[in-house]
Amino acid sequence: MLSDYTCYFLTFDFDDKNNDKKIKSDVLALVSVCDEYNVPLVL
């Protein structure tokens, strides 16, 4: 985080601790939000 409360890089870590395979829906939700706010995303 920079002194003006902005950042240039974020990292997200999705874990499947319960082996319920919900990671795909979580990632798709993140993609949707990033798309809505015009945030560049690399998977």
pTM tops 0.75, yes or no: no
3-state secondary structure of 12: coil
Both tokens of residue 8? 């240039």
The residues spanned by each domain of the chain are: 1-43
Q: pLDDT of 9-23, one tens digit each? A: 889 988 877 777 778
Using CA atoms, how far apart are residues 43 and 25, in angstroms rounded to an integer? 14
Using CA atoms, how far apart are residues 27 and 33, in angstroms rounded to an integer? 10
Average pLDDT for the chain? 88
- Which positions ≥6 away from 33 have C-beta within 8 Å? 39
Residue 28 has a pLDDT of 93
